Amino acid sequence: MIKGSIDHSVNNYKKTRRGNFTVPVTVLVFVTVLCLAAVIAALSICSVTFLDRTSVYAEEKRLTVSKTEYEYGEPILITAYGKGLDWVGIYAPDGKASILWVYIDENTAGGVGNGVQFDIIDRGVINNGAEYADIAPGEYIVRLMPDDTSDLSRAIETVKIKVLEQSLPAGLKPPSGAEYTPVGNGFAAGRLKVELPEDSQAKDVQPYWADSNGILSDYMPLPKFKVKKNSAVYDFPESVIIPEGATELWIYSIGKNGKRSDECFKLSLPEGSAFKNSEKPGTEFQVISDIHITQDNAHIHNQHFRLVLEDISKLSPDSIGIFIDGDIADTGNEAEYKLMSEMYQAQSGLPPLFLAIGNHDLYNGSMKEKTDLFLRYAQKPDGTHPSGSHYDYYLKGFHFVFLGNDELVRGVDTTLNENTLKWLKKTLDKDRDASKPVFLFIHQSLYDTVAGSLPGQNWNGVHNEEAFRELIYNYPEIIMFNGHSHWTMDSERNGYIREGYPSIFNTAATAYLWTSYNIITGENLDGSQGYYIEIYDDMIMIRGRDFANGKWIPAAQYCLTGYNSLVPGSSETPERNESGNSKNVFLPVIISCAAVIVIAAVIVTIVFAKKRKKSII
């Protein structure tokens, strides 16, 4: 009985699914074979697609060099194939870290391109942060490494090469002459023209500020610049100063191997050229960006951040704040914020931290979730937290404004919506004094303003930038800082300074740097940089600092003039919040809400009374 019921149910099911039709076995077999053929074809296509790149590798090596023996200083030409973060490095035979390295895939930032021959001396990134990498006579190993790993056991291919000692030249000749007349009053603006011997093998030249005793020890070299037809030209940026104590320029040749000449051309500066300032700043603070803290406590990003904190504690005990212009947490993880906070707390003698949000801080979660996480760590000196990623604060009589992100576009760009721009205008207009600076922090830069945003570099990132640009250009007192691009402070147009407009500065990064010296889109450069800001009565010094080397960056020593009486405020005013009003800002809001509630109650009472009256009638 039960079995019959089951059979009946099954028959009904078959009829419902198949109607009155039967499916011949031959048709089922045909369809099955057809499906199998389709699967095999699809797998074949996938295999071809997958092997499209690797088929090249099957037929020929993925790593080749133009020869196995090179003369000293000769280009070491390499051709490689890779994907993603595959890279090529050149090693000493017993070296665990590469001397020079470069990514392969053209779709990876800084990648040289699959199958494109390149000179690793010219294109390689120096791994230890030195000024040059000397591939001296000796034996070396070229390795193709996968997926950004440094594990030598995972090397895809290796090639041994030799640089011949007998080819060592007698020495790189220094420049033969130079001309330079600075604009005066301590400012460096002017053209430096360098001449080299006819038989010079120099690729670049690099000057240093010096005195009669040697190179100024507190300063890094000035930017190197390229040799063309035995001459080289460098234009010093506007508003950059000649450091106090400098009386000479020492100019060196840089060879194709990156090594500088033993001798230099010494150019005397006009008497009294150096900047003089014996005063102590009335107010000082620091601006850094892109610290990219990771969960690995020993990571180089974290090591660099510790160096920053140590440097500030030592050099600026009277600092009023450290301003971080975004990309605090490398993956947006709370563990990274916690580690940042722990490192900050571990260093004594530090001022308060002020945070602006970056695109990395918004990764791996919703916009709201990641913004809320950021706000938990963006504590202000008065113990309160901003209500959103756009906020402002008054400190020692100066106005600081922070812009965040209303919508993350392409995973990297910020959007400032109409309400945010209205808030910004209102904030800038509140108690405006055009004779005093307003310090504005936003992670991404405007197109074609500072390094990283110039045509072809593609690291600007304000999505609706025209409206933002139009607004801030009405406030020339703004001094704006951008991070995001990591472009080194030696770059072209590190500062964007024009009379009658806001002054804008590229803030580089403390985690790692980027340079477009060889290719316009840029390539990786080890290092850590930021600014010390010093406010005097009639000027503002914006001083670039190399934290990795503990020295000043001479191409980023700016002096902004034209101010009067920039004396510190009598006290900081933490009672002012994001909107620039006092704590009583909530009183009119509370009164308005109460009024709305009372009106609503009256209306409800009247409607209820009318309904009650109708029901009685």
CATH at residue 199: 2.60.40
- Give pLDDT tens digits for 261-282: 999 999 999 999 999 998 999 9
Q: Do both 467 and 515 map to the same domain?
A: yes
Nearest Cα residue to 356 out of 410, 402, 399: 402
Q: Do both 111 and 9 map to the same domain?
A: no
Q: Do both 10 and 70 map to the same domain?
A: no
Q: Do both 418 and 289 map to the same domain?
A: yes
- Please compute, for residue 345, the number of CA atoms within 13 A of its CA located in the half-sphere on the CB side: 7
Cβ-in-10-Å burial (0-12, 13-18, 19+) of 58 comes to: exposed
φ, ψ at 10 (rounded to 5°): -65, -40
Is 124 part of a structural domain of the chain?
Answer: yes
Q: Do both 484 and 344 map to the same domain?
A: yes
- Residue 482's pLDDT is 97
| 373 Cβ contact partners less than 8 Å away, ≥ 6 residues apart | 332, 334, 337, 361, 365
Q: pLDDT band for 601, please (50, 70, 90 cuts).
A: low
End-to-end CA distance of the chain: 69
Is 276 part of a structural domain of the chain?
Answer: no
Q: Do both 28 and 153 map to the same domain?
A: no
Residue 257 scores a pLDDT above 80? no
Q: Do both 100 and 141 map to the same domain?
A: yes
| Distance between CA atoms of residues 408 and 462, nearest Å | 10
| 77 Cβ contact partners less than 8 Å away, ≥ 6 residues apart | 65, 66, 117, 118, 119
- Residue 566's pLDDT is 84
- Residue 3's pLDDT is 33
Q: Do both 229 and 88 map to the same domain?
A: no
- Residue 593's pLDDT is 47
- Residue 441's pLDDT is 98
Token look-up 């190179």 returns 215
- Give pLDDT tens digits for 83-130: 998 999 999 888 778 888 889 998 887 789 999 999 998 888 776 555
- Give pLDDT tens digits for 569-584: 433 443 344 443 333 3
More confident residue, 48 or 119: 119
Mean per-residue pLDDT, 537-545 = 97
CA angle (290, 295, 298) in 5-degree steps = 85
**Cα separation values, 337 from 329, 330, 374, 449, 599, Å:** 6, 9, 8, 31, 46
| Distance between CA atoms of residues 318 and 265, nearest Å | 40
Provide the 8-state DSSP code for 509: -
The CA dihedral of 197, 199, 200, 203, to the nearest 10 degrees, is 130
| Distance between CA atoms of residues 124 and 122, nearest Å | 6
Mean per-residue pLDDT, 178-199 = 96
Q: Do both 448 and 545 map to the same domain?
A: yes
Structure tokens at 525: 């450069």
Q: Do both 561 and 486 map to the same domain?
A: yes
Least trusted range by pLDDT, from 331-335, 526-530, 569-573 = 569-573
**What average pLDDT is seen over the chain?**
84
To the nearest whole percent, how much of the chain has pLDDT over 90?
68
- Residue 38's pLDDT is 54
Q: pLDDT band for 374, please (50, 70, 90 cuts).
A: very high
Is 482 part of a structural domain of the chain?
Answer: yes
Number of domains the chain is built from: 5
CATH number reported for the structural domain that contains residue 303 in this entry: 3.60.21.10
- Residue 20's pLDDT is 40
| Distance between CA atoms of residues 527 and 416, nearest Å | 31
Residue length of the chain = 617
Q: pLDDT band for 150, please (50, 70, 90 cuts).
A: confident
CB atoms within 10 A of CB 356: 30
Is 416 part of a structural domain of the chain?
Answer: yes
- Give pLDDT tens digits for 397-442: 999 999 999 999 999 999 999 999 999 999 999 999 999 999 999 9
Mean per-residue pLDDT, 555-567 = 90
- Residue 565's pLDDT is 82
- Residue 1's pLDDT is 36
Least trusted range by pLDDT, from 14-18, 248-252, 407-411 = 14-18
Q: Do both 78 and 54 map to the same domain?
A: no
Is 274 part of a structural domain of the chain?
Answer: no
Q: Do both 146 and 258 map to the same domain?
A: no
Range of the domain at 247: 178-268
